[in-house]
Amino acid sequence: MAEYLAEAERKGLSEIGFADHFPLEMLGCTPENQVSMRADELEEYLADVRAIRDRAAIPVRLGIEVDYLPGCEAITGELLAAYSFDYVIGSIHFLDNWDFTHPGQVERYKMADIDALYEEYFTAVGQLAESGLFDIIGHLDVVKKFAFFPQRSWDSLMRKTCATLSGSGICVELNTSGWRAPVNEAYPSEAFLKLCREMQIPVTLGSDAHCPQDVGRDLNRARTMLHSLGFTEVAAFSRRKQTMRPL
């Protein structure tokens, strides 16, 4: 964490948020995974972020990324209420026990009905937003990560998804890690962001760094893209309250 913070300060970021993956085993539904923290690591994570916050020159936000697991809403809500996070990112990494975001599980795309997969994924995104459990939807169109695209146009799916997001009050993360993935596009795409702008859905910035060098990576590129689409503000979070800041 010290290295992540040092990189943020070196790049001149105005603040940094940590958002490790909430232990899946605590949510009661346990898809096999290799990414989330173990339950016995959570307290240490919280303590580490608080410790680094006390000696940082820039604000450090305590965030968490939580899988939205349909059917586990009640336990998710109870657990989240027990901690004082600055922001909670809700994400979907699993469909039918398949971690479709994991490079080790890409083969399954070749057997999947991609049109149906996109439908299923964005239906889950809508449910995530409507659950009211999360402040931010993480990597909104991550289902495109390995560049498997539907045959049919997904314009109406995007529009329907944004209408649901807009009604729910959730904020969309503009996540730059898509530029480092096979798809080589930000999450979400420019088309999605255009709709966000049209429907006044707030956007926040994230680099989804899994190593210190990636802290703040491509944030300027993201800002330029938002400017070109007419955005003037981005959302920031403290104690689960959203405020808008000049872009």
* Binding site residues, Fe ion, CB under 5 A: 91
Separation of first and last alpha carbons in the chain: 26
Among residues 56 and 106, whose Cβ is nearest to Fe ion? Answer: 106
Q: Which class for 219: exposed (0-12), middle (13-18), buried (19 or more C-beta within 10 A)?
A: middle
Asked if residue 123 lies in contact with residue 160, where contact means CB atoms within 8 angstroms, the answer is no
Among residues 63 and 202, whose Cβ is nearest to Fe ion? Answer: 63
| Nearest residue to Fe ion, by Cβ distance, number only | 91
Q: Name the minimum Å distance from CB 63 to Fe ion.
A: 12
**What does residue 217 show for φ and ψ, rounded to 5 degrees?**
-65, 135
Among residues 219 and 247, whose Cβ is nearest to Fe ion? Answer: 219
Among residues 53 and 145, whose Cβ is nearest to Fe ion? Answer: 145
Cis omega (within 30 of 0) for bond into 188: yes
Q: Name the minimum Å distance from CB 226 to Fe ion.
A: 21
Q: Name the minimum Å distance from CB 89 to Fe ion.
A: 7
Asked if residue 200 lies in contact with residue 164, where contact means CB atoms within 8 angstroms, the answer is no
Among residues 91 and 207, whose Cβ is nearest to Fe ion? Answer: 91
Task: Give the C-alpha separation, 162 to 201, whole Å.
Answer: 8
Q: Name the minimum Å distance from CB 91 to Fe ion.
A: 4
Q: Name the minimum Å distance from CB 153 to Fe ion.
A: 26
